[in-house]
Every structure is written in structure tokens, then in C-alpha cells.
Amino acid sequence: MLEALRKGTYDLLLLDWMLQDGSGLEVLRWVRANLGWNTAVVVLTAREEEQVVVQALEAGADDYVVKPAKQHELLARLASAGRRARGGSTQVQRLGAYEVDSQRNLLLMDGQGVALTQKEFDLASYLFQNPGKLVSRDHLLDKVWGINAMVDTRTVDTHVSRLRKKLLLDGTKGWKMSPVYGFGYRMDRLEQPA
């Protein structure tokens, strides 16, 4: 499964907690650390202990279903998790000069594609989805790199710096990324572009 995840992209994963050659927890942690939060993960397993359910949800599962699952309920939960991972029903978010296409992992500026790494795209997408909100470096590490990522907050600063340059987030295109000393960042939409 991990080999397939390294080669392709998936909208949703249905994951058993008990695997022959590992655990669902290991896979879930790998997914969040390496793929971020754009892939929905629903755990489907016979384990129903509260401790296991909490562990899965804290590790990043979008939902947890105990076997035997009711067919229509499972389908509804899968659809719900998929919508959340995509950020709702809209695949393309239009933000002035920018378009964020989460289906194709593509960000356009003035109609032209901008070359971004996967983490840069994930970070930009998250910040555009949370305009005006003050977000800490630790929060961004959790949401973009995953709950157990082995990176430090300097990584966030480096990626933000690259995004500012690549996307002109200095106010000239109507959006400004502002550092908040000792805490994190805020993405603001400006009434009048600089």
C-alpha cells in the first residue's frame, strides 16, 4: 500500500487497523506525515475499544467505522470524509488573481500555473482556505506536514518565504502574507492591491 501511495495520488483511503505486515496506525501516521491532509482516511476495523478509536482519530483519521459496517452508513461516511478532505464540494477556489485547484494540485496566478512542490501547494492551499486567521508555525506543521512530522518550525519559515516570492504575496496581487513575530503567519486579502 505504501509503495502505491508513493507512486500515485488518492482521494480517500479505507484502512484496516490490523494489517498482516504492520499496523493501520503506522500507515496512517505515514500518510499524514508524507501526504498531508488532502487525502481522506477512514478506518474500518473490528477493533471497537475506545482507546483504539481515540488513537486513530488523534493520529489523523477522518472517521472510524467498526465492522460489520452497514453498507449505506459506510458509503455516507466515505462521502463525508471525501468532502472534508477536498474542503467542501468546490474543487476550484477562486481568490482574485489566484485559483487553487485541489483536485489537480494546481495553483494558478493570473491564469498561469505556478510551479510549486507538493508541500508548497498544501501550505498555500491551507492558508488561502483560512484568510485573516493567525496561524502558528506549530499548527501549520501539524496541518501541512502531519502530526508526527520530524521537521522543525524553520521548515515553515522557509516554505512561507518561497511562497511569498513565487506567488507575490506582498500585496501586489491583492493578498499579503504577514509574519507575526514569535508566533506564525496571517494571510490577508487586501481591499486595494498594493
Which range of residues forms the domain containing residue 14?
2-86
Which pLDDT value is given to residue 89?
45
Q: Is 154 helix (H, G, I), strand (E, B) or coil?
A: helix
Which pLDDT value is given to residue 8?
72
Cα pseudo-dihedral 107, 111, 113, 118, rounded to 10: 0
Nearest by Cα to 173 from 128, 137, 140, 129: 128
107: phi then psi, degrees, rounded to nearest 5: -120, 125
> Is 59 contained in some domain?
yes
Residue 194 predicted with pLDDT over 70: no
- Do 119 and 79 belong to one domain? no
Which pLDDT value is given to residue 35?
76
Please tell me the total count of domains within the chain: 2
Q: Does the N-terminal peptide bond of residue 193 adopt cis geometry, omega within 30 degrees of 0?
A: no
Q: What is the pLDDT of residues 83-128, one digit of tens each?
A: 777 665 456 788 889 999 877 788 999 989 999 998 899 999 999 9
Task: Output the CA–CA distances (angstroms, integers) from residue 41 to 2, 46, 58, 77, 85, in the order listed.
Answer: 14, 16, 12, 11, 9
CA 64 to chain centre: 19
Domain boundary among 86, 106, 121: 86
Residue 139 sits in a domain whose CATH number is 1.10.10.10
- Do 149 and 81 belong to one domain? no
- Do 80 and 121 belong to one domain? no
Q: What is the pLDDT of residues 71-85, one digit of tens each?
A: 988 988 888 888 777
pTM for the whole structure: 0.55
Which pLDDT value is given to residue 164?
94
- Please report the sign of the dihedral spanned by the C-alpha atoms of residue 167, residue 129, residue 84, residue 92: negative
- Do 144 and 112 belong to one domain? yes
Which pLDDT value is given to residue 83?
77
Q: What is the pLDDT of residues 18-41, one digit of tens each?
A: 988 889 999 998 888 777 777 889
Q: What is the pLDDT of residues 134-152, one digit of tens each?
A: 888 888 888 888 756 677 7
Residue 27 sits in a domain whose CATH number is 3.40.50.2300
> Is 194 contained in some domain?
no
